[in-house]
Amino acid sequence: MERRITIITKTCVCLVLAYWFHSPLLAQDAKPVNQIFSLNYDEHQPILGPEGRLYFTMAFHPQNNNGNNDPGDIWFSAGERDGFEAPEHLGQLSTPYYDLLIGFAHPDTMLVYHQNFQNQQVIYSYYRSGAAWERGEAVQIPGFKINGDQFSARLHADGKMMVMSMDSFGTYGNEDIYISFRKENGWSRPLNLGSDINSSLQELSPFLSADTRTLYFSTNASEGVKGMEVYFSKRMGEEWNQWSSPSPVNLPDMEGFDLYYYPDQSNDRAFYTNIQTSDGYGNILLLGSFISGAEDTPDVSAPIEADPEPNDTAEMDNNEASFPERPVSEMQTSFEELETGASMILDKLLFQRSTVVLADSSGLVQLEELAAYLMDHPKTVISVDGHTDNYGSSRLNERLSLDRAQKVRDILVENGVDVEQIRVNGWGGTRPIASNRTARGRAKNRRVEIKVLNKP
């Protein structure tokens, strides 16, 4: 317990990237543990994106920006019904040095830590631009200083808090856990969470629950049988330096170190990294099930073109009544009446099949009305969200929905709206508001929504 654990270690020989697989490792009560990828590289910091993709950092892979010598680039894998696809490299978010995705401030805005960007340890914002990501501005955090190379952080679900592990000002020894709060013009100075959480050894890979009451982290200061285990602690009261005595998370009894715990509470599962090899390489594991909500999703085995026109309009909507529709305002609500966080469907905005071409002029008139409103309210920021039904290829549907959202943005900009007022997202068929089992339900799911992100 006196030794210092170093998570990132020496490089390994070049191995071949294996495609996704999952194999049961051990069972904990009723929850299986699955290894998500058959990769012989160092994988850590799993984070689920808003579109259901699994993002993570992978070290020493030959496709990294600095090849086998690169200590960590950002990768992602698309989620499927029973697992995740082969990982893909996100070179546009990565450097030849260590890179870490901290989280999503918005579905098309992410924060990324770079260990050595222009000779600085810095966090940058990245913005979605079509299918790519573009680097934005550096995140300004007063007093952000890291002694050494060890750093981990996660953005809270509301995008307004960031928990960080680093050796910095006021530490009790090695890496401590801090919190920083988003302010109007940046972030607050990191606040050490105090001796209830932090020790003279290492506290790493923190995660703060959505209700901000539970903190998960890994530490080697415990009396457990492992060198590094996952613990949790409850916040006592409203202050940030009073916590319950940390207790171990009941993970499966496996050898090695456990880090980067990431609970997906909405689906009753969790991701984390387990390190067993002597050279310190970790594998991302899933505790729980891959499948969530599959009973509402039809099994479509035949290939169908993305966003098809319904050809069974006479089909009865018997299943529709029992489907729990998400409340979304339609055009009975004017733009003026929408408050921050509210959404509405552009009900007259229709596209020709599988294209970004408007079906008729009524949709254009509606967009001109929206443009006029945004020009009269230059500080209002909206999100344009494209949706499809879930028939056909999930990738094609996601691509089509994003292309249509970008088309809406382009029309608004052409009509005089500042592009900084508009964010775009393509959700494909992942966010239905009606059952996909009927023609009427699928027609409702093929839509464009406007969501107010900020309305002063």
Helix ranges (H only) for 316-451 are 361-376, 394-414, 439-445
Q: From CA 341, how far away is CA 396, in angstroms rounded?
A: 28
Higher pLDDT, 278 or 37: 37
What's the mean pLDDT in 361-379?
91
Q: Model confidence at 110, in pLDDT bands (50, 70, 90)? A: very high
User: What CATH code would you report for 23-287?
Assistant: 2.115.10.20
User: What CATH code would you report for 329-454?
Assistant: 3.30.1330.60
Q: What are the boundaries of each domain within the chain?
A: 23-287, 329-454
* E-state strands within 184-331: 186-187, 191-192, 203-208, 214-219, 229-234, 247-248, 257-264, 269-275, 282-287
Structure tokens at 315: 């089909």
Output phi, psi for 167, to 5 deg: -90, 110
Beta strands 99-106 and 88-89, pairing class: unpaired
Closest CA to 198 of 211, 180, 181, 179: 179
Instruction: Tell me the pLDDT tens digit for each residue of 227-256.
Output: 789 999 999 999 999 999 999 998 888 888
> Residue 308: CB partners within 8 Å, gap ≥ 6?
353, 354, 391, 392
Chain-centroid distance, C-alpha 303: 29
Output phi, psi for 287, to 5 deg: -100, 110
Quick check: 289 pLDDT over 70?
yes
Instruction: Tell me the pLDDT tens digit for each residue of 63-72.
Output: 999 999 999 9
